[in-house]
Amino acid sequence: MQIKVIRTLSMLCFMMVAGYSSYSQTSRPLRDHVDPDGWAIGTNIGMTDMWGDVGTNSALDHYANSGYLDKVCFMGGLWGRYTFHPSFSVRMMLNYGVFYATDKWNEDGVKGKGLLEGSDYVQRYLRSQTAKASVVEASILAEYTFGRFNLDAFRSKVYHRGHPYVAAGLAVFHYTPYSTVANGTTFVKTYDLSLEGQGFGAGYPKKSSRIQPAIPIAVGYKWDVGEHLKLGVEFMYRITLFDYLDGVSGKYISGFEFDQNLPVGEATLAKQVADKTPYYNNALASVPGTLRGNPSNNDSYSTLTITFGYKVKSRQRMFWTNSKFGRKYH
């Protein structure tokens, strides 16, 4: 299934480039290559990445490990953009996606090392945590498109169908965290299991809300393929203000503490999810009070997406249109 999705995205990219190349052979009027003041609407879909305590320590290992493509996850949604000026616009987005990370991605770095070594690869590999989170996200971003600000240079830029842009703003997302049980592959919801004692009382971490703010930052490139159609690619990174997107942050707690604070069934399940070391590599259970994650670093997540947009034709006269362009909008 994942291979089919990747092939479909690759075909869409090919069609996008082919369509752009074919269209660029003909000259088009000025109005085709400038976002009109007013609205554009569209959709986006792409691959996701979770950046937290679970997984690899470096971005290079994250993408280059041999297991990265075994479980590709995606995010997609709808957006609307209002343009005030050829360079400035505001975009509203609503997205849904799934994010995934696993300590098994450190297996390549463990090869040739003894499992008693204290290296980061070995410690993460022995921890054997796997995390997944489903996210519903609403955001608003200010977007700046390069090459369209200086009106005196507008004539030389107008036939450039492709333009880079940057964007930043605010987001609110609702997340549901999951993890696997023992050494199995079945995912269970973990928020109510309080895997590090969240909400157990004094001396334990506070229970964080499942609704969290984020700061999205994006870079992208967009092409005008016609008077209305716009295609693009975008990388967006979200900075969050908490450390439990992947369900791992602080310290291990004892089985007794789960028994004292959770119903019997949930306590049993929490023990099998919170500490997986006894189920892998003949390792001993982790010592309560030792670090399970890194509480000093907040989690984040990112997407690499293909965007499709439609420019809604405005009947208003564009405020930047004047005689110096040699053509007026209609």
More confident residue, 317 or 301: 301
So what's the pLDDT on residue 312? 87
Amino acid at 162: G
Q: Is residue 38 part of a domain?
A: yes
Q: In this structure, what CATH number is given to the domain that contains residue 172?
A: 2.40.160.20
So what's the pLDDT on residue 28? 40
Band of the pLDDT at 4, cuts 50, 70, 90? Answer: low
Mean pLDDT of 154-174: 82
Q: Is residue 7 part of a domain?
A: yes
- pLDDT tens digits for 232-264? 999 999 999 999 999 999 999 999 999 999 999
- pLDDT tens digits for 10-35? 555 545 444 444 444 343 434 456 66
Q: Is residue 126 part of a domain?
A: yes
Q: Is residue 277 part of a domain?
A: yes
Residue 214 has pLDDT above 50, yes or no: yes
Our count of domains for the chain comes to 1
Are the C-beta atoms of residues 272 and 313 closer than 8 Å to each other?
no
Are the C-beta atoms of residues 76 and 45 closer than 8 Å to each other?
yes
Question: What is d(CA 100, CA 248) in angstroms, rounded to the nearest whole number?
Answer: 13
So what's the pLDDT on residue 325? 41
Mean pLDDT of 41-58: 97
Are the C-beta atoms of residues 179 and 130 closer than 8 Å to each other?
yes
- pLDDT tens digits for 197-212? 999 999 999 999 999 9
So what's the pLDDT on residue 79? 98
- pLDDT tens digits for 54-78? 999 999 999 999 999 999 999 999 9
Question: What is d(CA 118, CA 294) in angstroms, rounded to the nearest whole number?
Answer: 16
Q: Is residue 106 part of a domain?
A: yes
Mean pLDDT of 106-114: 89
More confident residue, 155 or 270: 270
Q: Is residue 322 part of a domain?
A: no
Question: What is d(CA 127, CA 292) in angstroms, rounded to the nearest whole number?
Answer: 8
So what's the pLDDT on residue 222? 92
Are the C-beta atoms of residues 47 and 303 closer than 8 Å to each other?
yes
Structural domain harbouring 122: 2-315
Q: Which two tokens stand for residue 135?
A: 């996210």
Closest CA to 272 of 187, 203, 176: 187
Question: What is d(CA 234, CA 220) in angstroms, rounded to the nearest whole number?
Answer: 4
Nearest-10 Cα torsion for 153, 156, 160, 164 = -30
So what's the pLDDT on residue 209? 97
Radius of gyration of the chain (CA): 24
Strand-pair category, 130-145 with 88-102? antiparallel
Closest CA to 138 of 166, 165, 170, 90: 170
Residue 308 has pLDDT above 70, yes or no: yes
User: Quick count: other Cβ atoms within 10 Å of Cβ 172?
Assistant: 13
69-85: burial string, b at 16+ Cβ within 10 Å, e else: eeebbbbebebebebeb
Residue 330 has pLDDT above 50, yes or no: no
